[in-house]
């Protein structure tokens, strides 16, 4: 009996994107069960790969815009355009992503989101009615200051001097709106975290160190963003600093909400809606999902955990494949079965030859029993 198998994995961060993960799993599965009908549906919850995943689902075509990366180095950045609905898809990691920069060469105080603003401007000039922005994987911690400047916002000191760097935000006194601010499209921002902008759970404290903020820098960065939020409240009567997701991507969530009126949505929900995920799972006999580490975050509602939860709700068996499964017993509450690459190789080899071992493990799982 052949099975209808839905393969819907996230990326294995730092090794394979979600499409290559899906292809490796499918290749291995087919070796043991060549008659099964496999449907590949790579996923993203707003971080690296968001653009490729959403554009494939919507049939959007790549566009190239000359802009700058987080360190203001010239780049050709890709975004995507779907002409029928006039929807633009923008992935922040493709323009101000941490992975784009040499490790430890730049400090977050040297980086901003100006280049991202230029992509949004390009989408607006193209005639976009809607812009889907995935903001995971950014190198920045500027609260969207650079992006806002690129879109025409001006930030001034008490003496009317324009502030050009987010590191000078403690001098912020006034904010001037762009002249053509009403020409920007509806913006939906895909977020996969619920952190506020400021404080112990804010972007500087939680994610800043991953981007290069030293312990002595964290409070300094938080104070700069606190000043930004305060002047935004006084000048624009907008209070988004405590909004869940405001702290996403170094406060870029806050910046998009404040300066573009963006609506934050779960990155997974955006993916699930556009991919018609519930119906795809309902029509499958088996779901296979996975990511680099199947851990506590997975079980608390990250994308892969959400896939498993939806499959469980619909009564469809779900297998979780990862590099490593950190809490296998707890994972049984969501997954029918979980497997890790470290069962068949070392951590080092799993990272170096991820596709090879994913294929081997999938072949092994498929051949272990008579699936029905």
68-114 confidence digits (pLDDT tens): 999 999 999 999 999 999 999 999 999 999 999 998 899 999 999 99
Whole-angstrom distance, CA of residue 222 vs CA of residue 206 = 11
- CB distance 363 to 33 below 8 Å: no
pLDDT at position 182: 62
pLDDT at position 134: 96
pLDDT at position 296: 83
pLDDT at position 140: 98
pLDDT, tens digit (0-9, with 9 covering 90-100), for 297-329: 787 778 899 999 999 999 999 999 999 998 888
Domains recognised in the chain with CATH numbers: 4-41+277-368 (3.40.50.10350), 50-268 (3.90.1510.10)
- In this structure, how many other beta carbons lie within 10 angstroms of the beta carbon of residue 97? 22
pTM of this prediction? Answer: 0.91
User: Is the pLDDT at 370 greater than 80, yes or no?
Assistant: no
SS3 label, residue 180: coil
Whole-angstrom distance, CA of residue 201 vs CA of residue 204 = 8
Query: Which helix (H) or strand (E) covers residue 145, if one does?
Result: helix 145-150
pLDDT, tens digit (0-9, with 9 covering 90-100), for 178-218: 987 667 889 999 988 889 999 999 999 999 999 999 999 99
Per-residue pLDDT band for 13 (boundaries 50, 70, 90) equals confident
User: Is the pLDDT at 169 greater than 80, yes or no?
Assistant: yes
Per-residue pLDDT band for 372 (boundaries 50, 70, 90) equals low
- In this structure, how many other beta carbons lie within 10 angstroms of the beta carbon of residue 32? 15
- Strand 87-91: give its sheet, edge to edge: 61-68, 74-82, 87-91, 130-134, 186-191, 263-266
pLDDT at position 297: 79
Query: Which helix (H) or strand (E) covers residue 76, if one does?
Result: strand 74-82
pLDDT, tens digit (0-9, with 9 covering 90-100), for 256-300: 999 999 999 999 999 999 999 999 999 999 999 999 988 887 877
pLDDT, tens digit (0-9, with 9 covering 90-100), for 216-231: 999 999 999 999 999 9
Q: Give strand pairing partners of 75.
A: 67
- CB distance 71 to 38 below 8 Å: no
């Amino acid at each position: 009996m052949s099975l209808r198998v839905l393969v819907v994995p996230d990326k294995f961060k730092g090794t394979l994107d979600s499409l290559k993960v899906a292809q490796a799993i499918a290749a291995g599965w087919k070796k043991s069960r060549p008659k099964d009908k496999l449907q590949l549906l790579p996923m993203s919850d707003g971080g690296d790969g968001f653009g490729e995943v959403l554009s494939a689902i919507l049939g959007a075509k790549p566009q190239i815009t000359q802009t700058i990366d987080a360190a203001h180095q010239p780049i050709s950045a890709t975004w995507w355009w779907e002409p029928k609905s006039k929807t633009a898809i923008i992935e922040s990691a493709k323009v101000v992503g941490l992975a784009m920069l040499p490790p430890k060469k730049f400090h977050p105080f040297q980086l901003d989101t100006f280049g991202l603003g230029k992509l949004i401007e390009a989408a607006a000039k193209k005639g976009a009615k809607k812009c889907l922005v995935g903001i995971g994987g950014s190198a920045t911690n500027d609260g969207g200051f650079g992006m806002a400047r690129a879109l025409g916002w001006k930030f001034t000191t008490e003496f009317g001097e324009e502030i050009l760097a987010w590191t000078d935000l403690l001098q912020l006194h006034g904010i001037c709106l762009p002249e053509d601010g009403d020409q920007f499209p509806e913006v939906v921002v895909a977020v996969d975290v619920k952190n506020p902008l400021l404080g112990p759970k804010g972007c500087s404290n939680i994610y800043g160190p991953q981007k290069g903020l030293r312990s002595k820098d964290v409070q300094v960065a938080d104070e700069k963003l606190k000043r930004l939020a305060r002047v935004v409240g006084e000048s624009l009567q907008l209070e988004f600093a405590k909004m869940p997701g405001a702290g996403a991507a170094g406060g870029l969530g806050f910046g998009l909400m404040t300066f573009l009126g963006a609506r934050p949505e779960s990155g997974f929900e955006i993916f699930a809606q556009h991919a018609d995920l519930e119906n795809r799972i309902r029509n499958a006999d088996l779901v296979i999902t996975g990511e680099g580490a199947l851990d506590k975050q997975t079980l608390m509602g990250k994308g892969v955990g959400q896939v498993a939860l939806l499959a469980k709700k619909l009564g469809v068996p779900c297998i979780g494949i990862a590099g490593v499964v950190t809490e296998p017993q707890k994972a049984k509450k969501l997954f029918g079965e979980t497997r890790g690459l470290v069962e068949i190789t070392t951590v080092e080899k799993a990272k170096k030859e991820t596709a090879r071992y994913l294929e081997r493990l999938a072949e092994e799982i498929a051949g272990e029993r008579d699936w029905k």
